[in-house]
Structure formats: structure tokens, C-alpha cells
Amino acid sequence: MSADTDRVWTIQDVLNWTVTHLKSKQITQPRATAEVLLAHALGVDRISLYINFDKPLNPDERTRFRRIMKRRLAGEPTQYITGHQEFWSLTFHVNPHVLIPRPETELIVEESLRLFRDARPSSILELGTGSGAVIVALAKELDSDIRIATDRSVEAVFTARGNAESLGFEGRIQFLAADLFQAFKTGSTFDLIVSNPPYVSREEYADLPREIKDFEPSEALMADQGGLAVLHRILNEAPAYLKPKGRLLLEIGCTQKERVLKIAEQIETYIDASVLDDYSGCPRLLRVQKG
């Protein structure tokens, strides 16, 4: 977008120019990105852009939008620029301390609802809560007495707690700064434990797009032992914190199905180990039950 102050730039002009420029830079979803970022720069929703296609932008608005576009072209994810991401039809605040919630992670919520369709879980634990998206979605959909979420990042815990409060779940979820089960004594405690843990290997991490590798927290993505270290630890430790017949749901990488099933099957406490595909046909969710 030209900085020429003599030209009148309408919303439609700016959108058209931006979409073309984003395409030339191979930015994914150029139209949606342009609309979201321009709406953010103007402090309006996307519908308002269409209603006001012919409205000229003043110099301050153009300057603000150019600064935002510079950040996006440098690789910063749109969600970190706007500070928001939708998950389970709820809007969550996100920042570089937490992963951006992704649609495939909604599979954890969907499967939890299916498993407890006829039996109310009295206690739920999420490990590595990040933005709090999963535990808040579960709090919205499942009635339970105890809901606890942990994360070893204090900044993530503050973010998750803030999201819970802003979405009307203040006091209904307990957030703890702790590494996995570190905050708990052993003993049968939870009906449901869920987690989207780090599972990207160091080799895979090196090949991730810059939007992920350079901006999202590496400790929430990458794990040793070919990406299996944290998954292995959760699988080994979870039986001490699951009630009999309790369920454990873990998001996994697309190439990890056979390896995580082998780990689960070697732990005698578990029964019914299986992996559920996501909507792209990728093995995504490990499901086990405590016998």
C-alpha cells in the first residue's frame, strides 16, 4: 500500500492491494488475513468492512495498518497480532506465551462429550493448558465438581485464568503452575485427564513454518525421544491419578500412532487403547482407559 498522501485509499482499495501483496509473498489465506488485520487496525468487525467499502482511510489508519502488515509479513501469526483466536465457538486471548488453539484439538472436547454422554465426570484434569481453551470448552459442556488445569509456564497459567474469567467461568476452574502431575499426590482422583502435550520431534521442529517456529513457544511444541518424551511420561504417570475406569485422552502427531499404542499397551493398567483420526484422516487422539 503506497504511502502517497495524495491518493485516496478506500477500504476496498486497501483490501484489494493487500490481498495481491499477500499472495505474492505466499501468505496463506490472503483474503481472510487481509480482512482480519484491516478490521483489527480500524477497530471494527469484518462485516463493517463490506458495509463501508467506499470509506476512505485517513493517514493515521493507513499508518497503523502498514505497521500491522509489516509484522505479518515478518512471519508473526495473525492471531498474535490481533490477540485472539476462536476455539469451540469461544474467543480466547492468545499471546506468545501460549500455543494458538487449532481446530484439530477440538477433537479432545468432542471425544470427551461422547465418552461422558451418559455418565457425568465428577473430576477433570487438563495437563499443559496453554490458553485454557480445552478446559474452558469442557467446563462449558460438561457438568463436574472439580476442574483443574496445569501448565509449567506461569505466563500461560495467567493467560488461561484470564480467559476463563472473561468467558464467565471464574471460580469454576482451578489453574495451577505445575509440571504435569507435580502438584498432586498419588491416588485415584480424576475421571478424565486430557492433554495436548509437546509431541514434535527436534527434526520436525526444524522444518516447521516460521510462523510457528519463530513465534510460538517451543517448549509447548517440541519433545525429546522423537517427540515421545512427554507422551511417554504422561502415559506412565497417569494411572496413579485416574479413577478405575477413568479415561485419558492425548493429542499426538500424525506419525506417532503405532509408537504411542505400543507404549500404552505395555502398561498393564490400561485397557482399550486406540487412536482416533481427525477430520483430515490423520491419527490424532490417543484414547485409553484405566482398568
**Do residue 59 and residue 152 come from a single domain?**
no
145 & 281 share domain? yes
Query: Is 6 a member of any domain?
Result: no
The domain in which residue 68 lies consists of: 11-74
For range 34-41, the mean pLDDT = 96
- Looking at residue 187, its pLDDT comes to 79
In a domain, 80, yes or no: no
Residues forming beta bridges with residue 193, ordered by sequence position: 125, 248
pLDDT band with cut points at 50, 70 and 90 for residue 185: confident
pLDDT at 8: 86
Residue 3 falls inside a structural domain:
no
122 in the same domain as 69: no
Contact 102, 85 (CB under 8 A): no
CA distance 136 to 124: 11
- Mark whether 269 and 190 lie in a shared domain: yes
pLDDT, greater one: 188 or 39:
39
pLDDT of 1 reads: 58
Q: Are residues 69 and 144 in the same domain?
A: no
Same domain, 42 and 148: no
Are 57 and 181 members of one domain?
Answer: no
So what's the pLDDT on residue 2? 54
Ordered strands of the 283-290 beta sheet: 174-177, 146-151, 123-127, 190-195, 242-251, 283-290, 270-277
Contact 57, 10 (CB under 8 A): yes
**Pick from 275, 186, 286: nearest CA to 237:** 186
Q: Could you tell me if 239 and 192 lie in one domain?
A: yes
User: Which pLDDT score, from 0 to 100, does residue 223 have?
Assistant: 97
pTM here?
0.92
Q: Are 145 and 252 in the same domain?
A: yes
For the chain, the C-alpha Rg in angstroms (whole number) is: 22
H helices of 5-151, in order, are 11-24, 30-42, 46-51, 59-73, 78-82, 106-115, 133-141
With respect to residue 190, please indicate whether it lies within any of the assigned structural domains.
yes
The reply to whether 246 and 133 lie within a common domain is: yes
**Last residue of a domain, which of 34, 52, 74?**
74
Residues 90, 69, single domain; the answer is no
Report the pLDDT value the prediction gives residue 113, as an integer from 0 to 100.
97
* Statement to judge: residues 163 and 273 lie in one domain: yes
Distance, in Å, from the CA atom of 109 to the CA atom of 92, rounded to the nearest integer, reads 16
For the cut 70, the answer to whether the pLDDT of residue 39 exceeds it is yes
Total number of domains in the chain: 2
Task: Give the CATH number for residue 237.
Answer: 3.40.50.150
